[in-house]
Amino acid sequence: MKIKITSLPKSKIEIIVNLDKKDLLPFKDIALKDLNKGLKINGYRVGKVPLSIAENHFSPLKIYEKAASLAIEKFYPQIIKEEKIQAIGYPSVNITKIIPNQEVEFKAEISIIPDLNLPDYKKIAKDMQTKKLNVTIEKKEIDDALLWLQNSRSVLEKVERPAEKKDIVTIDYQIKEKKNLIKNGEDKNYAFILGKGHFIPGFEENLIGMKAGKKKIFNITVPKSWIQKDLQGKKLSVEISLKEIKKKKLPPLNDKFAQELGKFKNLEELKKNILKGLKIEKEAKEKERWRLSVLDEIITDTQVDLPEILIHTEIEKMMEELKSQLEKIQLTFEKYLEQIKKTGEELKKDFQGLAKKRVFSSLVLREIGLLEKIEVSEDEIKEKVNEILQQIPDPKIKEKINPEDLKEFALGIVRNEKVFQILEKQ
């Protein structure tokens, strides 16, 4: 057996393999046995014809085509292993020469994990240490967090006064153009926060000062910058019936409020807890920002010809991630495409830049892991798998997960974390 390996662009290689008569002999007998299974010859049961006789009933080319296919199945994985080729995906294999009883040649083209000529990543990480930001918490951030907690426990009170901005109003409305309702131009018992309803400019302004139980008819002109192109610049007639006005009432910010939230003695203790939580959150974000900055610097100084198959796979992964996110908000992928006015293929093109960066980042982290001889134990993988599964409450989603893919994903997370820890210590 003779093997010739040639490098190709886009991180691919071509493997040309020549098999001689000796290499092919075992596969010739297997091929004959396989072809013999359906052979009918008078005097013999189907599949029981002696191979020496069966061979005369098939063309040498047919026998060697079958033998060649069997030989490829045997030798290709063996070559990949012995030559230590880091293959990605499935090969494109073609039989390029068959000389019965003498020779078979086949050619395989396969994508491989590219060699990375990394810069001095430890020096880059060391130089980037000075670019870490100090985490500080402003009083306003604590006040905003307290206000959010107040809002989460607020109640709505009905009021009799005229409507004001930030009130929660309930209305019936109709919007027409020349006596015809526009698309989505009618609703009943529609409740929203006045001033944040995202209606056509002029709509909500006409509600301010109205009292519950009153009706109003007015005209508005749609701005030429309005998102709905078919309405831009048009004059519309609006009829509104204001049914109810409510105002959000916040609970008082005192010790009792803090005690009702949890195990806090007083408001001051709650504030300290918020401060601690905000600091942990900000430190985690800064840590992530610094890590990505270091990775970007390493990538900038690294040359690589990315395999197209990895980019394609990453784009498909991003598409599935998007569909999963849309499913959570009960929006179909088709409806989403309609809203952003793009086709699936156009969206994939948009994803290409980010997909390349994600693939590049993954390869760089993997290479550093190999250079640093980072090891990940089975226990570490198992722990991370369990952690991931705990974050997925839906049993149906868990059932769809491939266990081996999940283990590989968990391995990557743990390994990358160890890589970043090494960089942080520089």
On whether the CB atoms of residues 271 and 142 are closer than 8 A, the answer is yes
End-to-end CA distance of the chain: 49
291 contacts: CB under 8 Å, gap ≥ 6: 420, 423, 424
DSSP string, 29-61: HHHHHHHHTT---TTS-TT-S-HHHHGGGS-HH
| Best CA proximity match to 162, nearest among 222, 214, 208, 114 | 208
Residues forming beta bridges with residue 20, ordered by sequence position: 103
93-117: pLDDT as tens digits: 999 999 988 999 999 999 999 989 8
SS3 11: coil
For the record, the structure tokens of 171 come out as: 């209305």
For the record, the structure tokens of 26 come out as: 């075992």
What pLDDT score was predicted for residue 10?
86
What pLDDT score was predicted for residue 394?
78
Place of tokens 């009292």: 211
| Best CA proximity match to 199, nearest among 159, 236, 253 | 236
Residues forming beta bridges with residue 94, ordered by sequence position: 107
| Best CA proximity match to 213, nearest among 243, 191, 240 | 243
On whether the CB atoms of residues 321 and 336 are closer than 8 A, the answer is no
Phi, psi of 120 (to 5 degrees): -75, 85
185-228: pLDDT as tens digits: 999 999 999 998 778 999 999 999 999 999 999 999 999 988 88
SS3 309: helix
Residues forming beta bridges with residue 386, ordered by sequence position: none
Domains of the chain, first to last: 2-112 (3.30.70.1050), 122-154+263-303 (no CATH), 155-249 (3.10.50.40)
Q: Which amino acid is at 75?
A: F
- Report the 3 state secondary structure along 87-155: EEEEEEEEEEEEECCCEEEEEEEEEECCCCCCCCHHHHHHHHHHHCCCCCCCHHHHHHHHHHHHHHCCE
What pLDDT score was predicted for residue 37?
83
Half-sphere exposure of 137 (CA within 13 A, CB side): 19
DSSP string, 278-329: HHHHHHHHHHHHHHHHHHHHHHHT------HHHHHHHHHHHHHHHHHHHHHT
What pLDDT score was predicted for residue 134?
92
62 contacts: CB under 8 Å, gap ≥ 6: 35
Q: Which amino acid is at 373?
A: K
49 contacts: CB under 8 Å, gap ≥ 6: 36, 39, 41, 57
Phi, psi of 217 (to 5 degrees): -125, 130
List Cα–Cα distances, 89 to 112, 115, 328, in angstroms.
9, 17, 31
User: pLDDT 10s digit of each residue in the chain, 426 long?
Assistant: 999 999 998 899 999 999 999 999 889 889 888 888 877 777 677 777 777 787 888 888 999 899 999 999 999 999 999 999 999 988 999 999 999 889 999 999 999 999 898 999 999 999 999 999 999 999 999 999 999 999 999 999 999 999 999 999 999 999 999 889 998 899 999 999 999 877 899 999 999 999 999 999 999 999 998 888 889 999 999 999 999 999 999 999 999 999 999 889 999 999 999 999 999 999 999 999 999 999 999 999 998 889 999 999 999 999 999 998 898 888 899 989 988 989 999 999 999 999 999 999 999 999 999 999 999 999 999 999 999 999 888 788 788 888 898 999 999 999 999 999 999 999
* pTM for the predicted model, two decimal places: 0.72
On whether the CB atoms of residues 347 and 326 are closer than 8 A, the answer is no
> Kind of pairing, strands 87-99 and 12-20?
unpaired
